[in-house]
Amino acid sequence: MSVAGSTYPVSKPIGTCAATGAVIAPGERFVATLVQREGVDELERLDFSAAAWESGQRPLPPLALFASWGGIMPTGESKKKLLLNDDEVLDLFEQLGEANTAKQLSFRFILALLLVRRRVLTLEGNKPGFLCVKIKRPIAEMAHEPVIEVIDPGMNDVAIADAIEQMTGLVPIE
């Protein structure tokens, strides 16, 4: 995926633990990460076995952690399954709540648009420079759900459309 000149390699799981080199077997839990190498614009994807991640293994310098999400290594029968389900995309969106780089802000904004489209987030209006959303919950819980202000990184319509098109492998856009 590419947003405002940046590449987001949210692709199929690699199947090998970046920390140990061990194969992550189908059906096993793992943590996928996007990392940035010092001095390089593009991001790289690294996967970690759940055991390695839980023992504290993380990307090491010169790599910096950009984002992470958990998943289950797909089996041969789940090839057509989306890379990330709505809960995993929401988790990634929430993790980027403290985003402070232009790439992270753009990525979070695109995730918010996709989650609104999938009806996981509800649009609560606009505020100059922000997209205001709430996490969709049962009616009784929604009244207490805080409004989330997602920084609008100022992407033009063409950049947004291009980014959404490239993310269709993550979540279905209907």
Residue 83 lies in a domain: yes
Residue 85 lies in a domain: yes
Exposure string over 50-80, b if 16+ CB within 10 A, otherwise e: bbbbeeebbbeeebeebbbbebbbbeeeeee
Q: What is the pLDDT of residue 30?
A: 92
Helix (H) or strand (E) holding 67, with range, is strand 63-72
Residue 8 lies in a domain: yes
Is 141 exposed, middle or buried (CB count within 10 Å of its CB: 0-12, 13-18, 19+)?
A: exposed
Instruction: Give the separation between CA 154 and CA 50, rounded to whole angstroms.
Output: 36
Residue 103 lies in a domain: yes
Domain assignment of residue 134, given as a range:
2-166
C-alpha 58: how far from chain center? 17
Name the residue among 5, 31, 6 with its Cα closest to residue 17. Answer: 31
Q: How many CB atoms lie within 10 A of CB 150?
A: 23
Domain count, the chain: 1
Instruction: Give the separation between CA 5 and CA 78, rounded to whole angstroms.
Output: 32
Q: What is the pLDDT of residue 2?
A: 39
Residue 173 lies in a domain: no
Residue 46 lies in a domain: yes
Residue 172 lies in a domain: no
DSSP state of 98: G
Residues in the chain with pLDDT < 50?
Answer: 1-7, 9, 79-80, 169, 171-174
Q: Is the pTM here over 0.85, yes or no?
A: no
Name the residue among 169, 173, 172 with its Cα closest to residue 11. Answer: 169
Residue 171 lies in a domain: no
